[in-house]
Amino acid sequence: MADQDYFVAMTEFHFMNLQTMSEIGYYPGMQHFHDSVNGVLKAWAGRDLDSEWPSPIASSLIGHMDSANVDVAFCLREPMMDITGGTVSMSTNGFMLQQIEPYPERMYLEANVGPVIKRGIKHANWELEYLVKERGARLCKLYTPEDDGPINDRRLWPFFEKASELGVPLTIHTGMSYVCPQPSNHCAVGQLDDVLLDFPDLKIIAYHAGWPDTEELIGLCGKHKNLYMSISGIIGWYQRAPYRGYHAIGTALQWMDSNKIVLGFDLPFDDLNRVTDYIRYFDMPEELQEKWGYAQLTEQDKANILGLNLARLTGIEPTKRVPKKA
Residue 232 to residue 248: CA distance in whole angstroms = 13
Residue pLDDT, tens place only, 189-225: 999 999 999 999 999 999 999 999 999 999 999 999 9
Residue pLDDT, tens place only, 57-81: 999 999 999 999 999 999 999 988 8
Residue 172 to residue 191: CA distance in whole angstroms = 11
Q: Tell me if 323 is assigned to some domain.
A: no
Which domain covers residue 84, as residue numbers? 3-314
CB neighbours of residue 153 within 10 Å: 18
Side by side, the strands of the sheet bearing 139-142 are 9-15, 72-77, 107-112, 139-142, 170-173, 204-207, 227-230, 261-262
**Residue at 42: amino acid letter:** K
CA count, 13 A, side-chain hemisphere, 68: 26
Lowest mean pLDDT among 141-145, 179-183, 309-313, 315-319: 179-183
Q: Tell me if 250 is assigned to some domain.
A: yes
Lowest mean pLDDT among 153-167, 234-248, 249-263: 234-248
Arithmetic mean of pLDDT, 43-57: 85
Residue pLDDT, tens place only, 83-141: 888 888 999 999 999 999 999 999 999 999 999 999 999 999 999 999 999 999 999 99
Structure confidence at residue 1 (pLDDT): 47
Number of domains composing the chain: 1
- Asked if the model's pLDDT at residue 39 lies above 90, the reply is no
Q: Tell me if 280 is assigned to some domain.
A: yes
Domain of 111, CATH number, reads 3.20.20.140
Q: Tell me if 136 is assigned to some domain.
A: yes
Q: Tell me if 326 is assigned to some domain.
A: no
- Residue 239 sits at φ, ψ, to 5 deg, of -65, -35
Class of residue 236 by CB neighbours under 10 A (exposed 0-12, middle 13-18, buried 19+): buried
Q: Tell me if 324 is assigned to some domain.
A: no
Entry pTM: 0.96
Candidates 225, 232, 279; CA nearest to 256 is 225
Q: Tell me if 149 is assigned to some domain.
A: yes
Residue 231 to residue 236: CA distance in whole angstroms = 9
Class of residue 218 by CB neighbours under 10 A (exposed 0-12, middle 13-18, buried 19+): buried
Q: Tell me if 229 is assigned to some domain.
A: yes
How far, CA to CA in Å, does 308 sit from each of 10, 258, 264, 274?
10, 10, 13, 19
Candidates 81, 212, 194; CA nearest to 148 is 81
